[in-house]
Amino acid sequence: MFLASEDSVPDILVVDDTPADCHFMAAILTSLGYRVRTVHHGRAALAEVDSAAPDLILLDINMPDMDGFELCRQLKQSLQHASIPVIFISSYDDTDIKVSAFNAGGIDYVTKPLRVAELKARIQAHLQLKRAQDRLGYQAGHDPLTGLPNRSLLADRLHQALSFAERYGGQVAVAYIDLDKFKAVNDRFGHKAGDQLLVEASHRLQACVRDSDTIARIGGDEFVIVFYDQSSENSTAFVMQRILDSIAEPIYFDGCPVFPSCSIGFAAFPQDGRDADTLLRNADTAMYHAKELGRHNFQFYTGELRRRMNARMAIEKSLRDAIAHDEFELHYQPRIALGSGRVVGLEALIRWRHPEMGLLPPLQFIPMAEEAGLIDQIGEWVVRSACRQYVAWQQHGLLQGPIAINISANQFLKPGFAGTIAAILKETGVSPEQLELDLKESLLMHDPVESMRVLQELKQTGIGLSIDDFGTGFSNLGFLKRFPVDRIKLDPTFVSGVQRNPDDLAIADAVITMAHRLGLKVAVEGVENGSQLALLAEHGCDEMQGDYFSPALPVELCTALLQERRELPEEKRLRRYAGRTLLLIEGSDGPGRSAIDIPEAPAYRVLQASDAGSAFDILAAENVSVVICDRQVSDMSGAEFLNRISRMYPRTVRIMCSDNNDAGLMADAINVGNVYRFVPKSCKRDELAAMIDAAFVRHESESGLQQSA
């Protein structure tokens, strides 16, 4: 029993085989205000202590089944009962017997006949001492914020539970719980709000489990639950889901709702570990797997997780070594203005020159650095290194435009981030307008209000700001117009298919138009070929970067590129216009055989494609006036092919050739492909020439062009 309060009534157990002595001591103690229980032999005393531990025991020495010395020794050997003070009561006044009593674990020795004042004084002194010890023990074993057991007490309880299960059978299970959004709450609302979240989480956890289970807070935002005799995996899953749902209920700070979540790892004795350290370690491993899968879920431990965690820990150690041994380096990818073709800036991209695995791109280690809490160190190194390199290039007159740097969520939301960037600029001597920070759209929209505050702090320093991977973060356009950013970077997923997919082109066109109306520049990343570039440039994109001009280069090669003043020629930046141009897509008759025999004519150019893919590439790079295709174009129907062209290049005149007069085919071509004319493959040359000429005239009329005679 824990005597937490001065007002609590102490419970005293009297153990004496003489009934008269028992009654006498019970009467005295009751009159003094104590709660008293009496037993007459040792085994009964052990049972009574197990059922409800007393605050103090008065113990006789001579008893029939077990003497007082043995009873006291057994009590002191128990972790649960060792702290109960035992006062021996005996008629023996022999020094050796008193020494034996103290050696057995007694705290005091009182001789019979009892003197009431002496007994009262000794009992009160030992109860006061126990109260003080209990208070210290509680503080040592409990978390002061939540009142839950701490790591030390958890270890004791888990050890006892496993010892019992090992001896008598049964299951013990451990759930390792980590709050997913604790740091964000601390950073945004302050540590007081963080403490409030921890207390509320502890209450919610207690409401989800049985009184017999143990919940502990082991540090930070981490909790552990020890389940005794959890019956089945199904019941475990039910409890885990109940915890997930309970933690996810909103909590309000300053009137703002926050929706916390948690990740849970689960391990069970004996299959996942036979000792406390192994069980906790394996439950922790499963919890990290839950985080890898997107958080707000629970995962059971498996051996495969342990192998993955070992690999993860090895990489984490290597990352720490990489910081210490300066193994990171920056590569730089040029940014090209599509109006002039000149290099107008660079993007700094980190690489890790691993001593064994070679040069690693950021996707292979940045997520791990974020999980390990190393991203702040690495991020500051990137900014500082890029700024120093910029100064070196500027001193040689090689670069005037800004250097762009990608910023992680952990960096961006860290308190004082804007001040850190300003300090690095001052340290390196780089003016703010020569640095641009790229922030992922999903990062900004995760907490747009806080993002707005940080963006405004950065903008006040004069730093350039851009939204990276735009189009994938479900932006609230109301926030977008208020974000103080300078440009947006179209996500590469829209670029890879922009010349072949009307939807991707429509999205790109809409983003470019919207951005320009908001006064923002639009850059495109991941440009791999001239067709993509020409089409996006025609739709108003301002800048590009990608392997088509240059991949990311180490410092030496990037310096060489800047020294030679490399540019992107105009003919590679724009769709070519060379007067009347006809595109013929080879039909289904096989390679080298056209769908229709086009008459030679000096008045127009004829381009040919063997499949839909190459045809789309030609259309993106060339201003084509007329397209002629067969009823089937490689892996799609001619109607579908022409439909895409009508959506992407509506002024291009579309002609389908076929010897099949099927009414359904014609209806599909007209309704889906918006076909201008049908041409039979057997069409005479003069008739075909007249049809093609009419198609060019139609194109020029709709395009506002006038063909010279």
**Domain 581-703 belongs to what topology?**
Rossmann fold (3.40.50)
Q: What is the mean pLDDT of residues 531-547?
A: 92
151-313 classified as CATH 3.40.30.10: no
CA 183 to chain CA centroid, Å, is 12
Q: Which two tokens stand for residue 507?
A: 């999205």
pLDDT value at position 591? 41
Ramachandran category for residue 48: left, alpha or beta (phi over 0 → left; psi -120 to 50 → alpha): alpha
* pTM of the shown model: 0.62
* Of residues 533 and 589, more confidently modeled: 533
pLDDT value at position 587? 58
pLDDT value at position 166? 81
pLDDT value at position 481? 75
Residue 459 has pLDDT above 60, yes or no: yes
Share of the chain above pLDDT 70, in %: 91
Residue 79 has pLDDT above 80, yes or no: no
pLDDT value at position 709? 36
Mean pLDDT, rounded, of the chain: 86
Confidence of residue 539 (pLDDT cuts 50, 70, 90): very high
Q: From 414, 665, 624, 609, select the one nearest 535 (Cα to Cα).
A: 624
In order of 206, 286, 349, the CA distances from 212 in angstroms are: 11, 24, 54
CA 87 to chain CA centroid, Å, is 58
Q: What is the mean pLDDT of residues 94-106?
A: 90
* Of residues 131 and 392, more confidently modeled: 392
pLDDT value at position 574? 86
Q: What is the mean pLDDT of residues 18-41?
A: 91
Residue 247 has pLDDT above 50, yes or no: yes
Q: Is 581-703 the same fold as 11-140?
A: yes
Of 113-117, 535-539, 694-698, the one with minimum mean pLDDT is 113-117
Q: Mark out the alpha helices in 350-463 (DSSP H runs).
A: 366-371, 375-395, 409-412, 417-428, 441-446, 448-461
Residue 681 has pLDDT above 80, yes or no: no
SS3 string of 13-39?
A: EEECCCHHHHHHHHHHHHHCCCEEEEE
Q: From 108, 131, 132, select the one nearest 120 (Cα to Cα).
A: 108
Task: Tell me if residue 365 falls in helix, strand or coil.
Answer: coil
Q: Which two tokens stand for residue 344?
A: 């107008």
Domain ranges of the chain: 11-140, 151-313, 329-573, 581-703
Taking the C-alpha atoms of residue 539 and residue 141, their distance in angstroms, rounded to an integer, is: 67
Q: What is the mean pLDDT of residues 452-461?
A: 90
Taking the C-alpha atoms of residue 466 and residue 438, their distance in angstroms, rounded to an integer, is: 5
Query: Most confidently modeled of 147-156, 436-445, 662-671?
Result: 147-156
Residue 2 has pLDDT above 60, yes or no: no
SS3 string of 512-571?
A: HHHHHHCCCEEEEECCCCHHHHHHHHHCCCCEEECCCCCCCECHHHHHHHHHCCCCCCHH
Residue 75 has phi, psi (to 5 degrees) of -65, -40
Q: What is the mean pLDDT of residues 638-663?
A: 84
pLDDT value at position 592? 39
Q: What is the mean pLDDT of residues 382-400?
A: 93
Q: Which residues on neighbouring strands pair with residue 653, listed in sequence order?
A: 626
**Cβ neighbourhood burial of 388 (10 Å; 0-12, 13-18, 19+):** middle
pLDDT value at position 562? 94
pLDDT value at position 434? 94
Residue 663 has pLDDT above 90, yes or no: no
Of 123-137, 200-214, 504-518, the one with minimum mean pLDDT is 123-137
Confidence of residue 590 (pLDDT cuts 50, 70, 90): very low
Q: What CATH architecture applies to the domain 329-573?
A: Alpha-Beta Barrel (3.20)
Taking the C-alpha atoms of residue 192 and residue 104, their distance in angstroms, rounded to an integer, is: 49
Query: Tens digit of pLDDT for each residue in 196-240?
Result: 999 999 999 999 988 778 899 998 899 999 988 665 556 777 888
Q: What CATH architecture applies to the domain 11-140?
A: 3-Layer(aba) Sandwich (3.40)
Residue 477 has pLDDT above 80, yes or no: no
Q: Determine the residue type at 436.
A: E
pLDDT value at position 708? 44
pLDDT value at position 483? 84
Q: Residues 129, 130, 132, 133: what is their CA dihedral angle, to the nearest 10 degrees?
A: 120
| Angle, CA of 475, 481 and 485, to the nearest 5° | 90
Q: What is the mean pLDDT of residues 263-273?
A: 90
CB-based burial, 96-128: b 16+ in 10 Å, e otherwise: eebebbeebbbbbbeeeeeeeeebeebbeebbe
Q: What is the mean pLDDT of residues 676-699?
A: 86
Query: Most confidently modeled of 2-11, 247-256, 588-597?
Result: 247-256
